């Protein structure tokens, strides 16, 4: 039992007629980096908020660190951290004051607070800005400060709801560097993300769909579970190519990634048909590729995810 | 309840207030401006009444009477009319608030020792002012009449009731004395209620409230941490208002200032409670401001701050008993002007305590429920 950090069983949340979460069951091991994926409205934020103890469930149970989230919330609050989608800092307080405030609310003793503050400022590289008002920080720095605020009390489990949404790629990379370091320290990370490349970095991934669990496993397992094959096609003009390919028998779905097309084939041996269909267009590249999580996600969205 | 957490929250709140120039201005300029507005501009004293004279008698007696009016200090003669037809036009144009008409035969009747009549016509559009002017007019006439009786019949023993009014507590009847305690109540009420509501709603608006819900901070600690700074600010506001009143308006406080502070703190239960309540029904700071003013207006109008409760219709007077500000106003005016203490004010103090506890606990219950 002790190696399980989060255990959810049949968790439900409804708002009148609207079902936000329709019986979700999951288990996350201690020290695991676990990501929730899914389209908007799939129930990711609802799950996060339920686990953080902000929402009351309509049914089901959830245990974090062996404690009942809904009945033993008070004991749990000190041991978990939650960073909502839009983490709000006090813009009119400085970086150091924000850290100090959250530390004091959690009752972190002074000596420990100072050490923690120095450590977090150092590894978030916010040190030079410690006396700057939070409202004057850049988006990426704000996000790092938000993370630092939720880490002041050294939580054992950290819930992060789309922590890098709207953050530039460089800051995202740095943010992940911090997350890995936390994971290395044994902190369980439970996060949701709209970015597939981030999901690939996680130990395990759960894909939500319409309030329920559609898929769960390591990124490798999920990708291996995808039926059929993925062809990468680069052709000019891409829109015309997409239209032609989508109409082909044996093609289940076509998605555009920048200038490339990902063609999801029912059977791997349809490559010739694809090349023929593009006759008359400028074909720059056509090759079989290993499916990415993005492809699994798209397949799921197309209603064919169950492998 | 963890005192340390409450203190940290208070400290954070005070740092934020200190950094917000608009709030600082609001806190420290508003009381002074309100005192000036209600002390000077919105003076309810009646002076320099524009008076027109129609002297149809033109005798020494009529001129003596008119001089009485102009010499009283209350009336300024702005026109000398030559006929009754001019009266209408003058009053319509609002150029005079009072027309004094001395009919022909006034001097003759007085000389004969008979009763004489004069006519005063008042512009009653502003009924309160007209009543005051009528009072002044009667005063001038009574003194004049008395002197005539004395000079004409020095030894006559007339069976007359000689009513003399002596004004206590505010002998000069200056409205500023009456207004300063009112302004103190109003400023304290508005600032503490509005600021509390805004401080909570702002955290909800920017999302930090949700952040605090995840922490071990309890609803009670959060509420205390958010309201106690404004209790402190409320007491500073009183100091500020008192200093302005005493140093600039030369108002003397007749009663005990410590008692004034203690009972103000009692009233703050009501205003802070209302602030918390408003925060629970408002999603944005904009909504909170509107709700505060929606609550503020009836409180001010029905408290007796501007319109005396005694002048209100009976049904409305009944409603004023439900307005906690009414009791606080009576307390502050009592301490300020009459110098009374708990021996006189206890009924108001009990009423205020009951309202304060009721409002604060209702608000607290709603606040905890909304948070959970």
pLDDT band at A249 (very low <50, low <70, confident <90, very high): confident
> Which of A52, A92, A104 lies closest to B16 in CB terms?
A92
Burial class (CB in 10 A: 0-12, 13-18, 19+), A124: buried
**B221–chain A nearest CA distance, Å:** 10
B212 shares its domain with B324: yes
Rg over alpha carbons for chain A, rounded to the nearest Å, is 22
Query: What pLDDT digit, counting tens, does each position of A145-184 carry?
Result: 999 999 999 999 999 999 888 788 888 888 898 899 999 9
| Structure confidence at residue B15 (pLDDT) | 93
3-state class (DSSP) for residue B310: helix
3-state class (DSSP) for residue B40: helix
- Look up residue A199 and give its two tokens: 């999901």
| Structure confidence at residue B168 (pLDDT) | 63
Q: Is B8 part of any domain?
A: no
What average pLDDT score do residues A220-230 get? 82
- Look up residue A230 and give its two tokens: 């993925």
Query: What pLDDT digit, counting tens, does each position of A22-81 carry?
Result: 888 999 999 899 999 888 888 888 999 999 888 888 988 999 998 998 888 888 999 999
CB contact under 8 A, A101 and B214: no
Q: How many CA atoms lie within 13 A of A1 on its CB side?
A: 5
Place of tokens 């703050």: B268
Distance of CA A20 to the CA centre of its chain: 18
Q: Which residues of B touch A97 (CB under 8 A)?
A: 12, 15
| Total structural domains within chain B | 2
Residue B197 · residue B276 · CB < 8 Å = yes
3-state class (DSSP) for residue B342: helix
Question: Interface pTM (ipTM) of the complex?
Answer: 0.78
DSSP A247-268: TSTTEEEEEEETTEEEEEESSG
Domain A4-222 annotated CATH 3.40.710.10:
no
CB contact under 8 A, A87 and B4: no
CB contact under 8 A, B4 and A104: yes
**A30–chain B nearest CA distance, Å:** 21
3-state class (DSSP) for residue A192: strand
Q: Is B18 part of any domain?
A: no
Cα maximum dimension of chain B = 95
Euclidean distance between CA atoms A155 and A151, whole angstroms? 6
DSSP H or E run through B372? none
CB contact under 8 A, B214 and A52: yes
Can you give the residue ranges of every domain in chain A? Answer: 4-222, 227-290
DSSP H or E run through A10? strand A4-15
How are beta strands A260-265 and A229-236 bridged, if at all?
Answer: antiparallel
Q: How many CA atoms lie within 13 A of A184 on its CB side?
A: 6
DSSP H or E run through B220? helix B219-247
CATH architecture of A227-290: 2-Layer Sandwich (3.30)
| Structure confidence at residue A117 (pLDDT) | 93
Residue in B266, B286, B292 with CA at minimum distance from that of residue B194: B292
Query: How many CB pairs lie under 8 A apart between chains A and B?
Result: 59
Q: Which residues of A touch B15 (CB under 8 A)?
A: 92-93, 97
**B227–chain A nearest CA distance, Å:** 17
* Contact partners, residue A306, CB within 8 Å, separation at least 6: A214, A215
CB contact under 8 A, B20 and A92: yes
Q: Which residues pair with A261 in a beta bridge?
A: A233, A256
The CA-atom distances, in angstroms, between B156 and each of A117, B113, B163, B193, B372 are 98, 13, 19, 65, 86
> Which of B20, B208, B215 lies closest to A106 in CB terms?
B215
B113 shares its domain with B67: yes
| Structure confidence at residue A294 (pLDDT) | 82
Residue A58 · residue A70 · CB < 8 Å = no
**B363–chain A nearest CA distance, Å:** 21
B109 shares its domain with B199: no
Q: Is B13 part of any domain?
A: no
Name residues of chain B where pLDDT drops below 70.
Answer: 41-45, 152-175, 372
CA end-to-end distance (rounded Å), chain B: 17
**A71–chain B nearest CA distance, Å:** 13
B211 shares its domain with B313: yes
Residue A198 · residue A35 · CB < 8 Å = yes
> Which of A78, A82, A101 lies closest to B12 in CB terms?
A101
Domain boundary residue, one of B121, B152, B183 = B152
Sign of the C-alpha dihedral, residues A235, A238, A241, A247? positive
Q: Which 57-76 residues of chain A touch chain B by CB within 8 A?
A: 74
Domain boundary residue, one of B152, B182, B207 = B152
Cα maximum dimension of chain A = 72
Q: Is B290 part of any domain?
A: yes
Residue B228 · residue B196 · CB < 8 Å = no
pLDDT band at A307 (very low <50, low <70, confident <90, very high): very low
Euclidean distance between CA atoms A190 and A160, whole angstroms? 6
* Contact partners, residue B301, CB within 8 Å, separation at least 6: B307
B236 shares its domain with B335: yes
CB contact under 8 A, A78 and B19: no
Q: For the domain that residue B126 is a member of, what is the CATH number?
A: 3.40.1710.10
Omega within 30 of 0 (cis) for the link into A237: yes
B95 shares its domain with B181: no
Range of the domain at B358: 28-42+174-371
Name the more confident of A276 and B283: B283
| Structure confidence at residue A305 (pLDDT) | 42
Residue in B368, B9, B364, B7 with CA at minimum distance from that of residue B218: B368
| Structure confidence at residue A1 (pLDDT) | 45
B241 shares its domain with B217: yes
* Contact partners, residue A5, CB within 8 Å, separation at least 6: A28, A29, A30, A31, A32, A64, A65, A156, A157, A188, A190
| Structure confidence at residue B324 (pLDDT) | 92
Q: For B164-208, what is the HEC assignment?
A: CCCCCCCCCCCHHHHHHHHHHHHHHHHHHHHHHHHHHHHHHHHCH
Judged against a pLDDT cut of 50, whether residue A127 lies above it is answered with yes
Q: Is A82 on the interface with B (CB under 8 A)?
A: yes
- The mean predicted confidence, pLDDT, of chain A is 86
- Of all residues in chain A, the one with the smallest CA distance to B221 is A105
pLDDT band at A102 (very low <50, low <70, confident <90, very high): very high
| Structure confidence at residue B172 (pLDDT) | 58
Q: How many CA atoms lie within 13 A of B224 on its CB side?
A: 12
B148 shares its domain with B185: no
- Of all residues in chain B, the one with the smallest CA distance to A49 is B214
Burial class (CB in 10 A: 0-12, 13-18, 19+), B109: middle
Do A227-290 and A4-222 fall under one CATH topology? no
Euclidean distance between CA atoms A209 and A40, whole angstroms? 9
Name the more confident of B72 and A114: A114
Rg over alpha carbons for chain B, rounded to the nearest Å, is 28
B134 shares its domain with B181: no
| Structure confidence at residue B163 (pLDDT) | 53
Task: Please report, rounded to a whole number, the percentage of residues in chain A having pLDDT higher than 70.
Answer: 97
Residue in A11, A155, A50 with CA at minimum distance from that of residue B216: A155
């Amino acid at each position: 039992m002790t190696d399980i950090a989060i255990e959810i069983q049949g968790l439900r949340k409804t708002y009148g007629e609207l079902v936000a979460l329709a019986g979700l069951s999951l288990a996350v091991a201690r020290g695991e980096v676990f990501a929730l994926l899914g389209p908007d409205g799939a129930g990711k934020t609802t799950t996060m908020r339920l686990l953080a103890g902000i929402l009351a469930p309509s049914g089901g149970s959830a245990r974090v660190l062996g404690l009942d989230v809904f009945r033993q919330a008070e004991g749990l609050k000190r041991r978990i951290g939650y960073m909502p989608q839009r983490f709000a800092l006090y813009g009119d307080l400085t970086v150091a004051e924000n850290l100090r405030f959250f530390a004091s609310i959690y009752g972190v003793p002074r000596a420990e607070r100072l050490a923690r503050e120095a450590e977090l400022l150092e590894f978030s590289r916010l040190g030079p800005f410690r006396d700057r008002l939070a409202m004057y920080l850049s988006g990426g720095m704000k996000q790092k400060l938000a993370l630092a605020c939720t880490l002041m009390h050294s939580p054992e489990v950290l819930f992060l709801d789309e922590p890098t949404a709207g953050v530039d790629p460089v800051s995202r990379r740095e943010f992940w560097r911090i997350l890995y370091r936390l994971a290395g320290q044994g902190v369980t990370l439970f996060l949701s993300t709209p970015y597939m490349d981030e999901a690939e970095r996680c130990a395990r991934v759960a894909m939500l769909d319409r309030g329920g669990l559609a898929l769960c496993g390591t990124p490798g397992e999920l990708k291996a579970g995808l039926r059929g094959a993925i062809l990468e096609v680069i052709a000019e003009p891409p829109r015309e190519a997409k239209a032609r390919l989508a109409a082909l028998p044996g093609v289940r779905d076509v998605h555009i990634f920048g200038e490339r097309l990902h063609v999801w084939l029912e059977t791997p041996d349809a490559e010739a048909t694809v090349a023929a269909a593009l006759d008359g267009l400028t074909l720059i590249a056509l090759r079989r590729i290993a499916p990415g999580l993005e492809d699994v996600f798209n397949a799921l969205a197309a209603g064919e995810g169950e492998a | 309840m963890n005192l340390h957490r409450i203190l940290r929250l208070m400290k954070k709140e005070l740092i934020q207030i200190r950094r917000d120039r608009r709030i600082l201005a609001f806190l420290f300029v508003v009381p002074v401006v309100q005192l000036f507005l209600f002390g000077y501009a919105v003076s309810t004293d009646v002076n320099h009444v524009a008076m027109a004279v129609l002297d149809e008698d033109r005798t020494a007696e009529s001129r003596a009477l008119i001089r009485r009016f102009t010499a009283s200090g209350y009336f300024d003669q702005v026109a000398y009319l030559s006929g009754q037809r001019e009266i209408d036009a003058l009053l319509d144009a609002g150029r005079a608030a009072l027309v004094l008409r001395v009919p022909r035969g006034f001097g003759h009747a007085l000389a004969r020792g008979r009763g004489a009549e004069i006519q005063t016509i008042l512009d009653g559009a502003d009924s309160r002012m007209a009543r005051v002017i009528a009072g002044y007019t009667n005063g001038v006439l009574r003194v004049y009449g008395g002197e005539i009786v004395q000079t004409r019949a020095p030894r006559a023993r007339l069976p007359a009731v000689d009513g003399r009014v002596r004004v206590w507590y505010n002998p000069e009847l200056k409205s500023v004395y009456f207004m300063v305690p009112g302004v103190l109540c109003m400023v304290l009420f508005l600032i503490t209620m509005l600021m509390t509501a805004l401080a909570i709603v702002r955290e909800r608006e920017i999302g930090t409230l949700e952040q605090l819900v995840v922490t071990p901070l309890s609803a009670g600690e959060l509420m205390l941490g958010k309201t106690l700074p404004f209790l402190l600010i409320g007491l500073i506001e009183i100091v500020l208002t008192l200093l302005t009143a005493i140093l600039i308006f030369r108002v003397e406080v007749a009663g005990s200032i410590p008692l004034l502070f203690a009972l103000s703190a009692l009233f703050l239960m009501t205003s802070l409670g209302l602030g918390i309540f408003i925060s629970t029904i408002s999603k944005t700071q904009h909504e909170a401001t509107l709700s505060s003013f929606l609550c503020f207006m009836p409180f001010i109008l029905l408290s007796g701050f501007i319109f005396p409760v005694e002048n209100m219709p009976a049904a409305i007077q009944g409603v004023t008993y439900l307005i906690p500000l009414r009791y606080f106003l009576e307390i502050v005016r009592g301490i300020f002007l009459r110098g009374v203490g708990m021996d006189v004010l206890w009924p108001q103090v009990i009423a205020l305590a009951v309202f304060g506890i009721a409002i604060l606990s209702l608000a607290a219950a709603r606040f905890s429920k909304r948070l959970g």
